[in-house]
Structure 1
Amino acid sequence: MTDAQLAALGAVCTRYPDVSLTFEGPPGGAVEAGDTSAVSVSLERDTDGLALGPGGELPPVHAPRFPGRRDEGWWLVLGDPKANKLLAIKRVSLAAAAKVKLAFEAPAEVGAAKLTLFYMSDSWLGCDQEYEVEFRVTEAAAGGSGSDEEGSE
């Protein structure tokens, strides 16, 4: 390889994303059946060596066969692969760091629950991540919305 080719290869390798993801499941590790809860996700990207734009934006993705400029996008998806259910999805733009909350409706079945959190790129191959989110589903509290409906008739 020529020096110019090696420099171009180094630039592409430096541009490849290195993202750390941490998350917290439902507060207290439990949620009532059918209630709305959330998973909080923190994303942090290693930007060392990247030539960021004036507003801190990332350079475009290396995609020489794409017909135009290609900026990377990321997706956070919360689902239950065994039941083939999608519970939450959100598109995320990530330059250096981001905090995202994914709201979802808890399963109706009481007991241990296990969902999967996917972090996927729409531009890069090989950098998708997935994590298991475990929590307990408890019975809905008595006197919830059902008793309000009876009193309004």
Structure 2
Amino acid sequence: MQAVPLSARKATGGSTEGNAPFFQLPHFNDAVMKKIARKKVKSLQEFRDMKIEDRAELLSQIGGFSAAEIQDVESVLDMMPSVTVDVTCGTEGEEGIQEGDIVTVQAWVTLKRANGLTRALPHAPYFPFHKEENWWFLLADQNSNNVWLSQKVSFMDEASAVTAASKAIEETMEGLGKNAKETNKSVREAIEKVKSGSRLVMGKFQAPAEGNYNLTCYLLCDSWLGCDRKIAVKVKVVKRTRAGTRGGVADEGPVLEDGADEEEEIEEEEYDEDYESEYSEDEEDDKQKNKKDNRANGKAPASSSGSDSDSEEE
């Protein structure tokens, strides 16, 4: 887009962004804007919503544009995007959202252009290189000034968008316990949406305390002025009645403290050593007792094998 001075973004009666969005169009300047303002065209959206014939008449008779200049303006208007968004928030596998639930946000962002293209480089004659068009999806609470979810959205790479949407939908359907037929059907529908100019945005956040939350979904473009969109999203969180955290990590059993296994092994080794020591002492006592009994009965103690061989030789 053309370099737009900050002073041009001063709010006017019909637009919060002032005349800045008009300066994205070729051949527009302050003099042209003063002439157009007399016809009560207050915003770029009003200008875009006009019929082509009415717009051409306005530019030629009021703005003093030539036929070629009017065509330049129409070419850029055809490239400017218009977006819509459909947002849903919910706990997977449950009807409502309870405190502490892991809430899944699913949004389909759809982009349309007058020229029928999904991918297009914005008109930026003063930019040093080709400028790619990107969008930012924000789910925010204006009252607390908190952003609950943010994600970058790009319409430049369709193949990557198809892969990402297919994987996300497949994982969601499997998590809901759907069979292969239902999963494949949902994946095919997602692929068709992507190819028709939509992008899937998915994210998660943990549900806050019980209450009604009036959130705002923003779609912010980094390449065009006057093309941003925002819609209201209401989220109702009720008091927790389910056990555990739905959608989170399952609770595991008690975890042994560090070194507990080693202490048990050491205790077992000490027990084995004590047992062997006691057993050896008992065995020695039995031998001594047997010797005493043999002497008392007049019997000689048994000799080793070496002693037996020496006696035979003698």
TM-score (normalizing by structure 1) = 0.80
Query: Residue 25 of structure 1 aligns to a residue in which SS?
Result: strand
Question: Which residue of 100, 103, 108 corresponds with 1:42?
Answer: 108
Structure 1 letter corresponding to 2:219 = Y
Query: Residue 19 of structure 1 aligns to a residue in which SS?
Result: strand
Matched, 1:99 2:183: no
Matched, 1:113 2:213: yes
| Aligned counterparts of 2:226 and 2:100: Cα–Cα separation in 1 | 35
| Aligned counterparts of 1:62 and 1:18: Cα–Cα separation in 2 | 15
Determine the structure 2 residue equivalent to 1:152: 254
Over the residues paired in the alignment, what is the CA RMSD in angstroms? 2.3
Matched, 1:4 2:68: yes
Give 5+ residue unaligned stretches, structure 1: none
| Aligned counterparts of 1:121 and 1:26: Cα–Cα separation in 2 | 27
| Aligned counterparts of 1:124 and 1:45: Cα–Cα separation in 2 | 13
| Aligned counterparts of 1:136 and 1:63: Cα–Cα separation in 2 | 43
| Aligned counterparts of 2:216 and 2:199: Cα–Cα separation in 1 | 20
Matched, 1:89 2:150: yes
**Structure with greater strand percent:** 1
Contact 2:140/2:148 (CA < 8 Å) preserved in 1?
yes
Determine the structure 1 residue equivalent to 2:179: none
Instruction: Report the identity percentage.
Output: 28
Query: Residue 78 of structure 2 aligns to a residue in which SS?
Result: helix
| Aligned counterparts of 2:203 and 2:155: Cα–Cα separation in 1 | 16
Determine the structure 1 residue equivalent to 2:97: 31
| Aligned counterparts of 2:133 and 2:95: Cα–Cα separation in 1 | 33
- Cα distance, 1:33 vs structure 2: 1.3
Matched, 1:124 2:224: yes
Determine the structure 2 residue equivalent to 1:65: 126
Contact 2:108/2:199 (CA < 8 Å) preserved in 1?
yes
Distance 1:59 1:112, change over 3 A: closer
- Cα distance, 1:16 vs structure 2: 0.8
Number of residue pairs matched?
Answer: 144
Structure 2 letter corresponding to 1:17 = P
- Cα distance, 1:34 vs structure 2: 2.5
| Aligned counterparts of 1:59 and 1:113: Cα–Cα separation in 2 | 36
Give 5+ residue unaligned stretches, structure 2: 1-64, 157-196, 246-250, 256-314
Distance 1:49 1:33, change over 3 A: same
Rg larger for = 2
Contact 1:29/1:135 (CA < 8 Å) preserved in 2?
no
Question: Which residue of 7, 16, 20 corresponds with 2:84?
Answer: 20
Contact 1:78/1:102 (CA < 8 Å) preserved in 2?
no
Query: Residue 65 of structure 1 aligns to a residue in which SS?
Result: coil
Structure 2 letter corresponding to 1:10 = E
Query: Residue 144 of structure 1 aligns to a residue in which SS?
Result: coil
Structure 2 letter corresponding to 1:67 = P
Structure 1 letter corresponding to 2:212 = A
**Structure with greater helix percent:** 2
TM-score (normalizing by structure 2) = 0.42
Determine the structure 1 residue equivalent to 2:137: 76
Contact 1:77/1:118 (CA < 8 Å) preserved in 2?
yes
| Aligned counterparts of 2:95 and 2:219: Cα–Cα separation in 1 | 21
Structure 2 letter corresponding to 1:124 = W
